[in-house]
Amino acid sequence: MADQPALHGPSRPDWACIACGTPWPCLMRRRQLKELCQCDPDVLRRYLTPYLQVARTELTELTAEQLDDRFLGWFGERS
């Protein structure tokens, strides 16, 4: 899957959106990803899982369930 550099990409280690400052993936990035992945949950999961794995090591104040909801729960998937 080809992706263009995301204006609404994550700032690390806090995982806030670079463009809008909200928790990443922000609403705009979610919309972009749905379009980019053609709303295919399997493609979205494969795209976001590596981000989730890194976020788990950096966002230690959040539980695994909170991180799963944030990265995968918005399109009906969990790891």
Task: Flag residues of the chain having pLDDT under 50.
Answer: 1-2, 79
Residue 31 lies inside a defined structural domain of this protein: yes
pLDDT attached to residue 77: 58
Residue 1 lies inside a defined structural domain of this protein: no
Helices H / strands E in the chain, number of each: 3, 2
Residue 55 lies inside a defined structural domain of this protein: yes
> Domain range holding 44?
10-75
pLDDT attached to residue 22: 96
| Distance separating the N- and C-terminal Cα atoms of the chain | 20
Residue 4 lies inside a defined structural domain of this protein: no
Number of domains in the chain: 1
